[in-house]
Amino acid sequence: MIGVRNIVIYIFVLSFHTGSTQITNHDMNYNELTADEINVIIDKGTEMPWTGEYVDHKENGIYTCKRCDAALYKSKNKFDSNCGWPGFDDEIEGAVKRVPDADGKRTEIICANCGGHLGHVFEGEGFTDKNIRHCVNSISLNFEPENKTQEGKTDTAIFAGGCFWGVEYLMQKEAGVISTTVGYTGGKTKTPTYEEVCSGRSGHIEAIEIIFDPIKTSYEILAKLFFEIHDPTHVDRQGPDRGEQYRSEIFYLNDEQKKTVLHLIEILKTKGYDITTKVTKASEFWKAENYHQDYYKNKGALPYCHAYTKRF
């Protein structure tokens, strides 16, 4: 897991009479914590409302675990819940774990990497279209601004190349990929469902959002892999899948990504490939339903319409 400075050994002791998760702190090489940080992150306390440094924080970047540096939340998922603590309506895929709270009523959220206490999660409040609120203690977080993430912490790529199950499965195997999320983008409606995307009414396309470590890989390497795990010469189809939602398209987040993609397309054209891949500025990315996430990994199967073909 990115951000962990040394090999980490940690022990979870399940307390069945309370349903909570206790953490033992023996000889662990996590970041040093102050007494106040230990009270919240280890002993599951709560900081006073309106006192945390990230309550009204608006900067773009990534929120990380103060205990182990794992990436937890993107700034685009932060919203003002007016409750005195930072609120997020989504987490980085696989970064946050939900466990029953000791009070028997609420759901606690902890860092999936180190088990540090973050806060609680609530649903059905209607603050955002996703209808979920991660209520997080500022003291449990650190923040990496966007300009720093571009220098070696994390970066993001968005690709669409047919069924997102297969694209995700093959991208997950690339060194440096931290997390993947399948979802929908490029459309005109909010919170699209799988059924709406398949019908063509929403205008969205099946896509994958990748968070990666630019020290271990690069956007160019991932873009090359993208062109080699699907057929970029097909129009609105991939394998047996047919429909506009299966078109080949790359959604760039900055001019450097756009320049990289256009250069790779020119290389492929000189090799004789009639590339149909569209290159589009990234817009809102909507996370797909949970049963679509890590589909082939969970099913224990292989993609039926994606396979590696060397093109570079």
Across residues 284-292, what is the average pLDDT?
Answer: 94
Give the pLDDT score at 139: 97
The CATH number that applies at residue 176 is: 3.30.1060.10
Split at pLDDT 50, 70, 90, the class of 2 is: very low
Catalytic residue among 65, 111, 114, 163: 163
Query: Domains in the chain: how many in total?
Result: 2
Residues 90 and 110 in one domain: yes
- DSSP one-letter code for 174: S
Distance of CA 94 to the CA centre of its chain: 8
Catalytic hit among 68, 111, 135, 305: 135
Asked about 65 being catalytic, the answer comes back as: no
Q: Where does residue 16 fall: left (phi above 0), alpha (psi -120 to 50 degrees), or beta otherwise?
A: alpha
Residue 307 lies in a domain: no
Q: Would you say residue 74 has pLDDT above 60?
A: yes
Q: Say if residue 112 is in the same domain as residue 207.
A: no
What residues make up the domain containing 26? 11-147
How sure is the predictor about 29, in pLDDT bands with cuts at 50, 70 and 90?
low
Task: Give me the helix-helix angle, 219-228 and 164-171, nearest 10°.
Answer: 130
How much is the average pLDDT of 235-246? 93
Asked whether the beta carbons of 255 and 145 are under 8 A apart, the reply is no
Beta strands in 127-220 (DSSP E): 132-136, 141-145, 155-161, 177-185, 205-212
d(CA 272, CA 285): 33
Active site residue 163: yes
Provide mean pLDDT across the span 57-68.
Answer: 92
Asked whether residue 121 falls in the same domain as residue 200, the answer is no
The answer on 176 and 47 residing in a single domain is no
Please count the other Cβ atoms lying within 10 Å of the Cβ belonging to residue 271: 10
The verdict on 140 and 160 lying in the same domain is no
Nearest to 244 by CA among 309, 304, 160, 165: 160
38-61 pLDDT, tens digit per residue, is 999 999 999 999 999 999 999 988
